[in-house]
Amino acid sequence: MQSFFDLNPQSLETFCREQDLPRFAADQLVDWVYDKGVAEPEAMTNLSKTARTRIAESLRFLTGSIAAHQVAGDGTQKLLISWNHATGTSAGQTECVMIPTEERRTACISSQVGCPVGCRFCASGLGGVEGNLTAGRIVEQVFRLTHLDGVGRITNLVFMGMGEPLANFAAVTSAIRTLNAPWGFGISARKITISTVGLPAAIRKLADFDLPVTLALSLHAPNDELRRQLIPWAEYATIAELLDACGEYFARTGREVTLEYLLLRRVNDRVEHAEELAQVARTLRANVNLIRYNEVKSLPFDRPTTADVHAFQEVLRKRRVNAHLRASRGRDISAACGQLRHERRD
């Protein structure tokens, strides 16, 4: 049985032809799901009864189930989705988050079940990676977030949930086409961000992608020695190699790169770390996005103090680095990557 969210209008036409349905049924399906938000064939009333029956028997719409739904005091909503194999057996769980502000609705979505990177401070990689999400299951996360109460249209999208998106390159880029397409979710490519721990070859490959997405490099340390302590995959590429790949990405796409830096108390949040980071950042056309750590149960890291965060940011700004402090959202619902899945497993 095929998954609806893995298909585009052309492949839906093929599906309809194979099911002996009229070609325009493909357009009707797209309209019902993406415009009307209806994912139950029996509710698609302008399709014939025969068409609805054949579609229900041959096409899956929602392939996961909601295992948990949390709403924070600031309006952030988080879903834990259980994915099922075609046989009905479990295929693991992933998280996605909707973060609202006055101007935007941002979806933070996952690309893998678990994560292969194993960052020491992150709950996503505890237990390793269990598998890749299909393009359809990536898109399905956005569909589910869109139709939560009070959400409406998603305006921004970040691949900053569970998994390393560039390690699932084909599915992620295929999903982005649907999320960007006018017939799909219509999210501007410039408002779609791929966050990666750093795979130089994949970064260069992304530069050939025809949609102008934003690249964010999860740096989290200003030198290779500390980065290797925090991020096991840092053994495979130095900061210099990553910056070279990011520089090539900017040169070929004209898209400024974001450097993400998670502040861990007394680990990487000292003034001397900020001085080093300023030197790194000024070698590249980039913004620095500072993120205060959300504590994870069982992991030995603490959230930095407000004073230390502002002192860190001030060092960067004095060195003429464009440094922003990301607002902490959803702390009361364990909104950081992998936290909800991790806590429900304990």
Annotated active-site positions, please? 95, 337
The residues near 99 (Cβ < 8 Å, ≥ 6 apart) are 76, 105, 106, 107, 108, 329, 330, 335
- Using an 8 Å Cβ cutoff, are 210 and 174 in contact? no
Q: How far apart are CA 156 and CA 101, in angstroms?
A: 11
Q: Please give the radius of gyration of the chain, using alpha carbons only, rounded to the nearest integer.
A: 21
Query: Long-range contacts: 20-25, Cβ < 8 Å, 24+?
Result: 20/54, 21/51, 21/54, 21/55, 25/51, 25/55
Residue pointed to by tokens 């149960």: 297
Cα-flanking dihedrals φ and ψ of residue 153, to 5°? -65, 130
Q: How far apart are CA 241 and CA 249, in angstroms?
A: 13
